[in-house]
Amino acid sequence: MDLNERLLSFISRSPTAFHAVENTARALADAGFEELIETQDWSLAPGARCFVRRNASSLIAFRVPRQAPTGFLLSATHSDSPCFKLKESAVFSSDGYVKLGVEKYGGMLCAPWLDRPLSLAGRVTLREGSTIVSRLADLARPVALIPNLAIHMDRSANEGKSYDMRTDMPALFSLAGAKGPEALVAEALGVKEEDILSKDLFLYPCTPGTVWGAENEFISSPRLDDLQCVFGCLQGFLEAGDSSCLTALCIFDNEEVGSSSKQGADSSFLTDVLRRVCFALGMDESGYLRCAANGFMVSADNAHAVHPNHPDQADRCERPVPNGGIVIKYNANARYTTDSVSAAVFSEICRAAGVPVQRYSNRADKPGGSTLGSISLTHLSLECVDIGLAQLAMHSCYETAGAKDTEYLVRAMREFYSRSPRKTPAGISL
Ligand code: CO
């Protein structure tokens, strides 16, 4: 299968952060990585290749070098995307319609969600004998739709529209008398509905991803932000050669809602794992800090491409386009972590990999967003660069990017993870 087909397959099998992490864990296990459990003791030998999950929605995979690690080489991406979360008591009816009440998860563009077949996936937690267990669920067929109001009933619909979560966004689910969502999930899992104690279920668009354009230049799919980077970093990590550093792939949940959950980038997950790995290898706190001081992180989260119909929304000089290569993101107020050192290091790595680089900063009068890098650095100080792949319609439920850029990211990350950088007062050797 070609790389973009594999990317689209990964995304379609990953309707929620839980599934993205499950599919990543499977790919790692297939490649010989062993899962470590946070509640157990870890014993690690040189050359060990392992991964750890937290909350089943964040994951850190790492490779231990043959000698004591000389530093950390990390990438950070996020497993979640803006979507609608089903309320715990979601079902309500009127006029014979059964509807699902939802809450916004993250800041999405609402309009693209309307008039689209939606399915339901996530995690349910249930009683199994005397144990409480969690299972991933995916109905994998259209079961809901949020209908627009006809133009005849809203003549101003094309002149700018605001969406009210309570009245506009409940999803039509069935007609009276049909089964509720818990019954469908129980059926899909082969469990009793009354054993389901609680759930984290999300609506997701069923529209499949596609490669398109006069010369197949584009790729469109749900959740390109940030599963395109998750996939690219994972492939690069799996294909990399040896490094003298501890190399790690970090995938965090909850980036779209501020990262402050127990498994998010603003939690202790990363430092807990890195510390435990160092200590299991017989290093002490000082050894851990030496590795951090000789550490480098690539915070990979998609970037805004210049919009074809709104070119004036982009900066005058920094104008990323699809298929233009890796986008290095800059922000004077440190919302992005890139500085001249980290940008230079990563640009050199891209040059060695034959990967073009472009630059992004917000238009000077726009605040823009922030992402994983600056949040991670509050827990662990190391060199960090913020990058992404150029995309259109960020936070739509159907986003568009360049078909060549996935491969650029894989190549850049493979090169990055194969390096053994050394930082000295005289400079950084790659
Ligand atoms: Co993102």
Convert the pLDDT of each residue in 51-69 to its tens digit: 999 999 999 999 999 999 9
For the record, the structure tokens of 395 come out as 């936070």
pLDDT of residue 21: 98
- Which domain range does residue 90 map to? 83-205
What SS3 state is found at 193? helix
Residue 213 lies in a domain: no
Residue 215 lies in a domain: no
Query: Looking at the structure, do residues 393 and 295 belong to the same domain, yes or no?
Result: yes
> 205, 231, 252: which is the final residue of a domain?
205
Query: Looking at the structure, do residues 410 and 298 belong to the same domain, yes or no?
Result: yes
Give tens-digit pLDDT for 81-107. 999 999 999 999 999 999 999 999 999
The count of domains in the chain is 2
Give tens-digit pLDDT for 251-310. 999 999 999 999 999 999 999 999 999 999 999 999 999 999 999 999 999 999 999 999
> 142, 173, 205: which is the final residue of a domain?
205
> 173, 205, 237: which is the final residue of a domain?
205
For the record, the structure tokens of 30 come out as 């297939």
Query: Looking at the structure, do residues 280 and 416 belong to the same domain, yes or no?
Result: yes
Q: 47: domain CATH number?
A: 3.40.630.10
Letter for the amino acid at 48? Answer: A
Query: Looking at the structure, do residues 67 and 111 belong to the same domain, yes or no?
Result: no
Give tens-digit pLDDT for 132-146. 999 999 999 999 999
Length of the chain, in residues: 430
pTM for the whole thing? 0.97
CA of 76 to the centre of ligand 1 (A): 11
pLDDT of residue 369: 79
Those residues whose beta carbon sits under 5 angstroms from the ion ligand 1 are 225-226, 301
CA of 398 to the centre of ligand 1 (A): 14
CA of 78 to the centre of ligand 1 (A): 7
Cα–Cα distance measured from residue 327 to residue 86, given in angstroms and rounded to the nearest whole number: 35
Looking at the predicted structure, is the pLDDT value of residue 178 above 90? no
pLDDT of residue 367: 83
Average pLDDT, the chain: 96
Cα–Cα distance measured from residue 337 to residue 395, given in angstroms and rounded to the nearest whole number: 22
Looking at the predicted structure, is the pLDDT value of residue 336 above 80? yes
Query: Looking at the structure, do residues 239 and 370 belong to the same domain, yes or no?
Result: yes
CA of 149 to the centre of ligand 1 (A): 30
Q: 109: domain CATH number?
A: 2.30.250.10
Query: Looking at the structure, do residues 43 and 67 belong to the same domain, yes or no?
Result: yes
Query: Looking at the structure, do residues 250 and 395 belong to the same domain, yes or no?
Result: yes
Query: Looking at the structure, do residues 109 and 26 belong to the same domain, yes or no?
Result: no
**What confidence tier does 1 reach under pLDDT thresholds 50, 70, 90?**
confident
CA of 183 to the centre of ligand 1 (A): 33
Query: Looking at the structure, do residues 258 and 196 belong to the same domain, yes or no?
Result: no
Residue 216 lies in a domain: no
pLDDT of residue 113: 98
